[in-house]
Amino acid sequence: MAVLLLAGLTALAAELPALTGRVVDNAGIIDAATKAALTQKLADFEAKGSDQIVVATINSLDGEEIEPYANRLF
Protein backbone atom coordinates (compact mmCIF):
# COMPACT_ATOMS: atom_id res chain seq x y z
CA MET A 1 0.00 0.00 0.00
CA ALA A 2 2.79 2.43 0.92
CA VAL A 3 4.52 1.72 -2.39
CA LEU A 4 1.37 2.63 -4.31
CA LEU A 5 1.03 5.84 -2.31
CA LEU A 6 4.64 6.83 -2.98
CA ALA A 7 4.30 5.98 -6.65
CA GLY A 8 1.23 8.21 -6.86
CA LEU A 9 3.06 11.11 -5.23
CA THR A 10 6.00 10.72 -7.59
CA ALA A 11 3.64 10.88 -10.55
CA LEU A 12 2.43 14.31 -9.39
CA ALA A 13 5.97 15.69 -9.08
CA ALA A 14 7.26 17.94 -11.84
CA GLU A 15 10.42 16.83 -13.60
CA LEU A 16 13.63 18.50 -12.46
CA PRO A 17 15.81 20.11 -15.13
CA ALA A 18 19.29 18.69 -15.69
CA LEU A 19 22.07 20.82 -14.24
CA THR A 20 23.87 22.01 -17.37
CA GLY A 21 25.46 25.19 -16.02
CA ARG A 22 24.84 28.18 -13.81
CA VAL A 23 21.82 29.19 -15.90
CA VAL A 24 19.38 26.44 -16.90
CA ASP A 25 16.70 28.00 -19.09
CA ASN A 26 14.32 25.15 -19.89
CA ALA A 27 11.46 27.61 -20.43
CA GLY A 28 13.47 29.48 -23.07
CA ILE A 29 12.80 32.94 -21.62
CA ILE A 30 16.37 34.21 -21.21
CA ASP A 31 18.09 35.63 -24.28
CA ALA A 32 21.73 34.73 -25.04
CA ALA A 33 23.22 38.06 -23.93
CA THR A 34 21.36 38.01 -20.62
CA LYS A 35 22.31 34.38 -20.04
CA ALA A 36 25.99 35.17 -20.66
CA ALA A 37 25.94 38.19 -18.34
CA LEU A 38 24.09 36.29 -15.63
CA THR A 39 26.47 33.33 -15.93
CA GLN A 40 29.43 35.68 -15.47
CA LYS A 41 27.86 37.37 -12.43
CA LEU A 42 27.16 33.98 -10.85
CA ALA A 43 30.73 32.82 -11.53
CA ASP A 44 32.11 36.02 -9.98
CA PHE A 45 29.89 35.53 -6.92
CA GLU A 46 31.09 31.94 -6.55
CA ALA A 47 34.74 33.01 -6.85
CA LYS A 48 34.36 35.37 -3.88
CA GLY A 49 33.37 32.53 -1.55
CA SER A 50 32.14 28.97 -1.65
CA ASP A 51 28.43 29.63 -2.23
CA GLN A 52 26.92 28.66 -5.56
CA ILE A 53 23.74 29.96 -7.15
CA VAL A 54 21.97 28.43 -10.13
CA VAL A 55 19.14 30.14 -12.00
CA ALA A 56 16.62 27.70 -13.43
CA THR A 57 13.47 28.30 -15.46
CA ILE A 58 10.88 25.63 -16.21
CA ASN A 59 7.75 25.47 -18.34
CA SER A 60 5.41 24.12 -15.69
CA LEU A 61 5.22 22.80 -12.15
CA ASP A 62 2.70 20.21 -13.40
CA GLY A 63 0.42 20.93 -10.46
CA GLU A 64 3.14 20.63 -7.82
CA GLU A 65 3.42 23.36 -5.19
CA ILE A 66 6.44 25.67 -5.57
CA GLU A 67 7.92 24.99 -2.11
CA PRO A 68 8.36 21.20 -2.42
CA TYR A 69 9.56 21.63 -6.01
CA ALA A 70 12.17 24.20 -4.93
CA ASN A 71 13.33 21.92 -2.11
CA ARG A 72 13.75 19.00 -4.51
CA LEU A 73 15.55 21.24 -7.01
CA PHE A 74 17.89 22.48 -4.28
pLDDT in tens, 1-52: 454 444 445 556 889 999 999 999 999 999 999 999 999 999 999 999 989 9
Query: What's this model's pTM, rounded to 2 decimal places?
Result: 0.76
Can you give the pLDDT at residue 14? 87
CA 19 to chain CA centroid, Å, is: 8
Can you give the pLDDT at residue 5? 41
Return the domain boundaries, the chain. 2-73
For the segment(s) 2-73, the CATH number from 3.30.1330.20, 3.40.50.20, 3.40.50.720, 3.10.310.50 is 3.10.310.50
- The CA-atom distances, in angstroms, between 47 and each of 14, 21, 24, 54, 65 are 32, 15, 20, 14, 33
Can you give the pLDDT at residue 4? 42
Can you give the pLDDT at residue 6? 44
